[in-house]
Structure 1
Amino acid sequence: MSSMQLGNLGYLLLLGAILVFWLFVQNRESLGKKAQAAAAWGLIFLGTIAAIGLWDDIRQTVVPQQAVFADQGRIELPRAPDGHYYVTVGLNGAPVRFVVDTGASGMVLTRGDAVKAGLDLDGLAFYSQAMTANGPVQTAPVEIATVSLGPFSDRDVRAYVNDGEMEQSLLGMTYLQRFDRLEISGGKMFLER
C-alpha cells in the first residue's frame, strides 16, 4: 500500500471508531439494539469496500472482450461503455492495450507502452511532430520488430512514441490498412484479413 492509501485507511478507521464511540455513549440504555445497528452498518461498509476493490475484476467478467476467430481470419472488438473500441496487441511479445483510432494516421505509443515493448526511450529522437485535438506534440519515429494481433503477425512496423501526456496508445490507420476489411456493425468492430 502506498502512504496515501495508508493515510486514507487510517482516516477511515479513526472516523469509524469515533462513530462507534458516539453510538454507545449516546444511548447507553439500549446497547443491544445499538450493537445490532453497528453490526449492520459494519457489514454494509465492508460490502461497499469489497465491491470497490473488486470492481475491475467484476467489470472484466461482465464486459465482453475481444474475440479472435483464427480459422476465419477475423477479430471482433466490442464497443466499450465509453463508445471506443479497445484492442490488445502484442508488441515484441508484450501485450499493449490500444484504443482503435481511425482518425489517427499512425500507431502512436505512450512512453509507458514503448518501455513495455522494449524500446529504449533514452535513444529516441523526438524530432517529428503530430497534430492532435490539443495541439501539436513531439513524436519519435520507431520501428517495432513484431506486432501481433490474434493470428496475424507483422514485422518491422513503423510507429511513433508520443513525447507528451497521453492516456492510451492509439492504433491508427497505417496499421489498420493491413486488414482487408474494417467494419463497424451492431456495436462491434470487425477486422479481417
Structure 2
Amino acid sequence: MPHNKHPRLRFAVIALALIALVTGLNLTFGTLSATEDLGQIIYGLLMILIIASALAFGNPGKKVRHLLIWFMIFVVGMIGYSYRGELSAAKERVLAELIPGRGVQGERHTARFPVSDNGHFYIRATVNGVPILFLADTGATGIVLSPKDAEKCGFRPSDLTFDRIFRTANGMGRGSSIRLDTMAVGEFRLENVAASVNEAPMRESLLGMTFFERLDRYDVTGDVLTLYWGKG
C-alpha cells in the first residue's frame, strides 16, 4: 500500500510539524517556560511522539479526525492554563456564592463575603483549628459560640459556668466566658481571643464586635461584606 511506504520519514515529518505547531502556539500564548516548566515540556514531547507514531505507522487517513480532536483538547488546555489565575478567581467567587461563609480572599489583606439568601452575612472561621460557621452580628457585643460549636472546639458545656449576661440581636442571653487559642478568617489571624459559650442551643454561632473591632475596618457595599486588616 502506498501509505505504508517510508513510515519513518513520515513519522519524522509529522513529529517536526507538530513540534513547530506547538512551539508557535507557545510563543503566541507564552504559556510554558523552558526553565520553570521543563516537566510539562518533556511530557508534551512524549505526547507528540505518540501522536506522530500513530499517524505514521498505519492508515493516517483514518486517524486525522483523532488528531484534530487531540489538537482541540491541547489548545483548550493551553488557553485554560494561560488564564488559570482568572479561572481560579472565578471558581472562588462561585464557591463563595454556593457555600455559606466561605468568602473570597481579596488583594491587600481583604476578604469579601456575599449576602446569603436570608439577607444575613455568614463568615467561616477556623477556631482552635476547627472550621466554624458564624453569623456576622454587629448587634452582638462579643463572639458567641453555640454549645454544639463549643464542643467541636474542645469546650464541654457541662464544665462551664454560665454566669454572664450578654445582648445579641435576638435579645438577652446567658453564657460562659472562654478564651479561644486561635481564630482565623482567611489570612487574618488572632490569638487568645475573648469569647463566650451560649447556654441555650443556637442555630449558628455569632461573630460580634469583639471580632470586628480587631479589624482595620469593615463595610457593606451592595450585597457584599468586606473585611480589611493589616495593610488593607
Length-normalised TM-score, structure 2: 0.54
1:158 maps to: 194
Q: In structure 2, what residue type is equivalent to 1:107?
A: I
| Residue-pair matches, total | 134
- Looking at structure 2, the residues matched to 113 and 131 of structure 1 have their Cα atoms a distance apart, in angstroms, of 19
Going from structure 1 to structure 2, the CA distance change for 1:121 and 1:82 (only over 3 Å counts) comes to same
1:89 pairs with 2:159: no
What's the secondary structure of 1:72's corresponding residue? coil
Question: 1:93-151 CA deviation, whole Å, 9 max, x = no partner?
Answer: 00000010011100011000001111132221101112346653220000000001111
1:142 maps to: 178
Aligned residue among 179, 184, 192 for 2:220: 184
Going from structure 1 to structure 2, the CA distance change for 1:186 and 1:154 (only over 3 Å counts) comes to same
- Looking at structure 2, the residues matched to 166 and 84 of structure 1 have their Cα atoms a distance apart, in angstroms, of 16
Relative to total residues, which structure has the larger helix share, 1 or 2?
Answer: 2
Structure number with the bigger relative contact order (C-alpha 8 A, sep ≥ 6) is: 1
Q: Is the Cα–Cα contact under 8 Å of residues 141 and 167 in structure 2 kept in the other structure?
A: no
- Looking at structure 1, the residues matched to 121 and 191 of structure 2 have their Cα atoms a distance apart, in angstroms, of 24
Q: Is the Cα–Cα contact under 8 Å of residues 181 and 192 in structure 2 kept in the other structure?
A: yes
- Looking at structure 2, the residues matched to 78 and 61 of structure 1 have their Cα atoms a distance apart, in angstroms, of 7
Larger radius of gyration: 2
Length-normalised TM-score, structure 1: 0.64
1:174 maps to: 210
Q: CA deviation at 1:80?
A: 0.5
Going from structure 1 to structure 2, the CA distance change for 1:101 and 1:157 (only over 3 Å counts) comes to same
Aligned residue among 36, 57, 63 for 2:98: 63
Going from structure 1 to structure 2, the CA distance change for 1:133 and 1:99 (only over 3 Å counts) comes to closer
Going from structure 1 to structure 2, the CA distance change for 1:151 and 1:171 (only over 3 Å counts) comes to same
Going from structure 1 to structure 2, the CA distance change for 1:186 and 1:173 (only over 3 Å counts) comes to same
**Unmatched 5+ stretches in structure 2:** 1-93
What's the secondary structure of 1:142's corresponding residue? strand
Identity of aligned residues (%): 33
Q: Is the Cα–Cα contact under 8 Å of residues 145 and 206 in structure 2 kept in the other structure?
A: yes
Q: In structure 2, what residue type is equivalent to 1:67?
A: V
Relative to total residues, which structure has the larger strand share, 1 or 2?
Answer: 1
Q: In structure 2, what residue type is equivalent to 1:103?
A: G
Which stretch of structure 1 is more off in the superposition, 80-89 or 123-132?
123-132
- Looking at structure 2, the residues matched to 135 and 88 of structure 1 have their Cα atoms a distance apart, in angstroms, of 23
Going from structure 1 to structure 2, the CA distance change for 1:60 and 1:73 (only over 3 Å counts) comes to closer
